[in-house]
Structure 1
Amino acid sequence: MKISVNYSEDYQSLLTEELHNKLEATHDFIQSKTGLGSDFLGWVNWPSSTQQAFLQDIKQTAEHIRSNSDVLVVIGIGGSYLGSKAVLESLATPFQKDSQLEVIFAGQLVSGAYLKQLITYLDSKEVTLNVISKSGTTTEPAIAFRFLRQYMEARYGEEAAARIIVTTDEEKGALLSLAKEKGYKRYVVPEDIGGRYSVFTAVGLLPIAAAGHNIDQLIAGAKQAEEEFQVMDVHSNAAIKYAVIRNHLYGKGYPVEIMATFDEKLKYVQEWWKQLFGESEGKEGKGIFPASVLYSTDLHSLGQYIQDGKRMLFETFLMVEQVSDDLTVFEAEDNRDELNYLSGLTLHDFNKACHEATASAHLDGGVPQITLTMEQLDEEHIGHLLYFYMMTCAYSAYLLDINPFDQPGVEDYKRNIFKILKKPGY
C-alpha cells in the first residue's frame, strides 16, 4: 500500500540545503509535538495508539444501532461530518444499499426545508441520532439537534435517550452536561485533536462502523501511513514530497490548487480535503486556495478555464489504479455512434487515457501538475490516504510558518452573526 507522487518538473532541483534544514526541523516539530499548535498534534500517533477495546466498543454500538434502526442521523458540521462522509461515499456502491442502515447527515447546513423534510422522511423509519460537537453550542448543528431531539422525544418518549448518542468533550460543555442529565451514550472528541483531523476518532469511526464498514482495516491503513511518514526522507516520504512541490509552486506564483479526480466516489474526499487545507493553511494572508473538479464532467465546464484561463493554478490528479467493477466497450453492428474503435476497452482504461490526454493538454497550456496515485478504494487504502493528507497538510502549513491547527477566521463570521441575531453578550 503506497501513495506515489509524480511531478511534471524535476523534483530533485527543488531540494535546496535551506529547504532540507527546514523540513528536518518541521519533521522534529511534528514527531515531538513541539511545533505551532502543538496542543493539537494528538492525531499524529492516534492510529498506532488506538486500543482494540475502543474499536470493539464502537463496533458493538454500531451493531446495536443496526439492530434497532433503519436510519442513523449524524448531526455535525465541518470536521464533525466531512471525514465520515468522505469514507462512506468512497466505499458506497451506487444505486444499492450496502447495509441495512442508512446514514443521513444534518446540521452541516441551516435549511428549514431540509430539516422539515428529513423529519417527515424519518416518520416511517426507526431512528438513532449521533450528535457530534465538542461544545454543543456550535450554531448549525445545535439548531438541527434542537429540532431532532424534540422529534425523538415526542416520538419515542423515555426510549429516546437510548436512541441518542453524543460525541463531545470529555470534561466540559453544554452537550456533555445534557448527555449526563439524560443518560445518553457518550463518546469523546479528544482534547488534542481538532475536528478536521478527527476522522480516525469516534467522530468518524461510529458512523463508518454503523454503515457496516471495517474500521479495523481503516485504522490499519492509517497506522501503516503513520509508520511510513515518520521517516525523514525527502525522496521516499510521499507526504514530504507533496508538501515540497506545493510549497515550490506557491512560491512560483501559483496560489490555487485544483484537485482533479475521475472517480465519483472521491467527491467527498475532495470536500474533506478542501476543509483540511483551507482551514489549516489559509491564514495571515498566506496559503494555497484548494478547489476541486470531477472529470470528465468538469472538462466540459471548468476545464476551459483550467486550459486557457489565468495562469494562477496548478492541478493535482488523484488517481486510483484498480477498480472493483467495470464495463468493457462492445462492438455494435451498426456503429452509428462511431465507437467501435473503442471495442475491448474498459471504461476504467478510458479514464486512464482521458487522464493522460487531459494532463498533456493542461501542461501544454501552462498548468503545473502533480499526480497522486493510490492502488484501490477500500477501507485500508482510504485510511492510508486520509492520514497522508493530514501529514502533508501539517508540513505544508509549517513550511509557510503557519499554525495548521487553529481557524481564527472562522470565528469572525460567528461573532458577526451573533451580533446580527442579538445573542446575549454580543
Structure 2
Amino acid sequence: MITCDIGFARKFIKDDEYLKARRKADMALDQLKNKTGPGSEWLGWRDLLADPNDAEIEEISSLGEEVREKADIFIVCGIGGSYLGAKAVIEALTPHFGSKGPEILFAGHHIGGKYLEELMAYLKEPKEDGSPKNIYVNVISKSGSTLETALSFRLLRELIEDLYGDDASEHIICTTSKEGGLLNKVIKEKGYRKFIIPDDVGGRYSVLTPVGLLPIAVAGIDVRTLLYGAVSAYNRYKENTEDILEYAALRNAIHETGKTIDVFATFEPELSSFGGWIQQLLGESEGKEGQGIFPTVATYSTDLHSLGQFIQQGQRSLMETFIIVEKPFSDLEVNELEGNDDELNYLAGKSFHEINTKAREGTIEAHSEGDVPIVKICLSALNAENIGELIYFFELLTGIFVYSLGVNPFNQPGVEDYKKAMYRLLGKH
C-alpha cells in the first residue's frame, strides 16, 4: 500500500496558490483519462494495466526461469528507460550480497572504454573450476541504433558468437519494436529470440513491459506479482486519485514559487536506484520549454554527510520527496558492549530499523524547520506488489504534473540535440 503525505510542504503554499494548482491538476487528469493531451498516442503504459497480457507474463516468467537456471551471467544491454527500471526493481527486491542465480550486469548505458574492456575480459575469464562462464545477453532498444547500446552490443554479440557458434542465438534475447529498426534486421538474419516493446509505450514508461520484466524475472522476482501490484494501483486510482492530485498540485504550486530542485531522498539504500528511475521519468518528461523542477537523488544518512549542509542552510531553491518503507525488513539489533568504550550502549537493544527511523524523523524535522517543503511517500513494506504500485504511482504523477505545466510529458526533443552534435563530430553521414 502506498500513501502520500504533503502536510510538511503544504504550509509553504498559500491557499489560493494551491487551489489554482489543483484546478490545473484536475484538468491534467482529465487529459490523461480522455487522451486529449499532447502525446496521447503514448499512453500505452496505462492501457497495458487495464488489460494485462497474462500469456506474455507467463512467457517472460518461463524464459526468466530458464535463463536463471542456466546462466552464470546475464547482461542487460540498454540505456535510459531500457535499463533503469529493471535495475531499480532488482536492487530493491534482491539481497545485497550472495544472490542466487546469475550475476546481473549492465552494459550499453555509456561509452566508457575502460568499463567495456574490463567487462569483456571478465566475461572471458573461466570460472574457479576452469569451465567457461555461461553468458546470456538481453539487448533492449526500440530503434537498434542508439549509439551507446549498439556499440556495446556489437562487442557482446561478437563474443557470444565466438563462444557458442551455431548456438549463439540461444544466448541472445532482443527486446525491440515490432517492426523496423536496425535490430529487427539482425534478429531476422541471426534468429535471436525476441520480445516486443509496445509502439505506444515510451522508454521511461516501459519497466512493466518486456523491457523491464525479463531482466526482473531472471533476477528471481515474481513479475506477475509486480505487474498486478501496478494493476491494483491502476484500478484504485481510477476511483480515487486524491493523493496523486494533491502531490501534483503541490509540486505545481511550488514550481510557481520558483523552487527549481526536488531531492528524492530515502533512508533505505535498497531504493537508491529506484530514485534513479524516478529521476529519468520526471526529468525527461518535465524538463522542456523552460519548465520543470530538476529531480535529483539522495540516499540518507550517507548523503547527509555530503549534501545535508546545503539542504539545511543553502539557497532555498529546493523541496524534498522522501520515499519511506514502514515495515522493517531486518531484525538486527545493537548489542551491549562490555566497557562501552565506543559510548554506544545507550542504543543497546534497539534495532537498526528503529535507529534509522529516528534518523529519518529527525532529518525531516530539521529540514522542514530549515524551510524545505517535504513530501512523504510511504510504502507499507518493501515487496514486489508495493514496488509495482509505486511504479504506477510515479508514472501517473508524472503525466498529471507535466500536463499541468502545459507541456507534453511523453516526448524528449532535447535529447536529439546532443545526438546530432555527436554524430556530426564523429563524421556520421
Q: Select 2:173's aligned residue among 165, 175, 185.
A: 165
1:197-236 maps to which residues of 2 (within 5 A)? 197-231=205-239, 233=241
Q: Distance in 2 between matches of 1:111 and 1:300?
A: 29
Q: Distance in 2 between matches of 1:13 and 1:218?
A: 38
The residue number in structure 2 matching 1:13 is 15
The residue number in structure 2 matching 1:108 is 109
Mean alpha-carbon deviation: is it higher for 58-67 or for 147-156? 58-67
Amino acid in the other structure paired with 1:6: I
Q: Distance in 2 between matches of 1:346 and 1:141?
A: 43
Amino acid in the other structure paired with 2:6: N
Do structure 1's residue 143 and structure 2's residue 151 form an aligned pair? yes
Gaps of 5+ in 2: 127-132
SS, match of residue 285 in structure 1:
coil
Q: Select 2:375's aligned residue among 366, 370, 373.
A: 370
Q: Cα distance, 1:18 vs. partner?
A: 4.5
SS, match of residue 378 in structure 2:
strand
Q: Distance in 1 between matches of 2:269 and 2:115?
A: 24
Q: Select 1:25's aligned residue among 8, 23, 27.
A: 27
Q: Select 2:92's aligned residue among 84, 87, 90.
A: 90
Residues 284, 21 of structure 1: alpha-carbon distance in 2 compared, 3 angstrom cutoff: same
The residue number in structure 2 matching 1:418 is 423
1:155-304 maps to which residues of 2 (within 5 A)? 155-231=163-239, 233=241, 237-304=242-309
- What do the CA deviations read for 1:195-216 (whole angstroms, capped 9, x no partner)? 0000000000000001111001
Do structure 1's residue 4 and structure 2's residue 12 form an aligned pair? no
Amino acid in the other structure paired with 2:107: A
SS, match of residue 3 in structure 1:
strand
Residues 127 and 163, structure 1, Cα contact 8 Å, conserved in 2: yes
Q: Cα distance, 1:16 vs. partner?
A: 5.8
Identity, in percent, stands at 43
Residues 83 and 199, structure 1, Cα contact 8 Å, conserved in 2: yes
Q: Cα distance, 1:5 vs. partner?
A: 2.2
Gaps of 5+ in 1: none
Aligned length: 420
Q: Distance in 2 between matches of 1:2 and 1:421?
A: 47
Residues 67 and 136, structure 2, Cα contact 8 Å, conserved in 1: yes
The residue number in structure 2 matching 1:359 is 364
Q: Select 2:310's aligned residue among 278, 295, 305.
A: 305
Residues 12, 250 of structure 1: alpha-carbon distance in 2 compared, 3 angstrom cutoff: closer
The residue number in structure 2 matching 1:42 is 44
Mean alpha-carbon deviation: is it higher for 165-174 or for 23-32? 23-32
Q: Distance in 2 between matches of 1:331 and 1:353?
A: 20
TM-score, normalised to structure 2, is 0.95
Q: Distance in 2 between matches of 1:110 and 1:16?
A: 44
Residues 276 and 393, structure 1, Cα contact 8 Å, conserved in 2: yes
SS, match of residue 201 in structure 2:
coil
Q: Distance in 1 between matches of 2:329 and 2:19?
A: 44
Structure possessing the higher relative contact order (Cα contacts under 8 Å, 6 or more residues apart): 2
Residues 72 and 101, structure 2, Cα contact 8 Å, conserved in 1: yes
CA RMSD of aligned residues (A): 1.5
TM-score, normalised to structure 1, is 0.95
